[in-house]
Structure 1
Amino acid sequence: MSASIQVQVADSHLYPGCSVRIAHLPEPARAAEAIVEFADGSGAHATCHRRAFDELELSVDGYATQKRHPVDAKHWLLLAVDATHNSWRVKRRLP
């Protein structure tokens, strides 16, 4: 895998419709390690994979929010919101 990608989430957890910012995308067809930073200051390790030009898969390891609420590991589909591919929105949870 390549260098870690910074993923900034606009809330303390991911859910459909949630806003996400990613400064540098992984190369197509390559998985990349990611560090997910949540708005409440919590964080998690993840793997990011670019499925298509405007689609990313994000597999987030389990973590605890700042209020110590446990969040299980989950797999998400993200869609690009703008042409710069810095802003993303969670489309849905993947199996």
Structure 2
Amino acid sequence: MSNSIQIQVADSHLYPGCAVRIAHLPEPARGAAAVVEFADGSGANATCHRRALDELELMVDRYATQKRHPVDTRHWLLLAVDATHHSWRVKRRLP
């Protein structure tokens, strides 16, 4: 998955308000494979889709934290917090 988007999360899981870093975004209106790296060293596969210039949908596959806490597949809405679109925050969980 060398063409995957790399997403770095500032915690061991995602939640509203959580900080996220994304170096390279997917093209608008196209989905892209992603690899999510959590602060505790755990990781998950994901897909992301830009809804608008400052909005990103992120569907994270099931994974386990380093403390072996299982986290089910979840769908999130992220909002950009800077003009470079490298820093994001989780806005809310999507159905």
Query: TM-score interval w.r.t. the shorter chain?
Result: over 0.9
Runs of 4+ in structure 1 off by over 4 angstroms are: none
For 2:31 and 2:64, locate their aligned partners in 1 and report how far apart those are by CA, in whole Å. 24
For 1:88 and 1:21, locate their aligned partners in 2 and report how far apart those are by CA, in whole Å. 6
Structure 2 unaligned blocks of 5 or more? none
Corresponding residue for residue 73 of structure 2:
73
Q: What are the equivalent positions in structure 2 for 1:15-94 lying under 5 Å apart? A: 15-94=15-94
> Normalising to structure 1: TM-score of the pair?
0.97
For 1:40 and 1:50, locate their aligned partners in 2 and report how far apart those are by CA, in whole Å. 26
Tell me the percent identity. Answer: 86
> Normalising to structure 2: TM-score of the pair?
0.97
Structure 1 unaligned blocks of 5 or more? none
How many pairs were matched up? 93
Provide the alpha-carbon RMSD of the alignment. Answer: 0.3
> What amino acid is aligned across from residue 41 of structure 2 in structure 1?
G
For 2:53 and 2:28, locate their aligned partners in 1 and report how far apart those are by CA, in whole Å. 8
Q: Is the partner of 1:59 in helix, strand or coil? A: strand
> What amino acid is aligned across from residue 26 of structure 1 in structure 2?
P
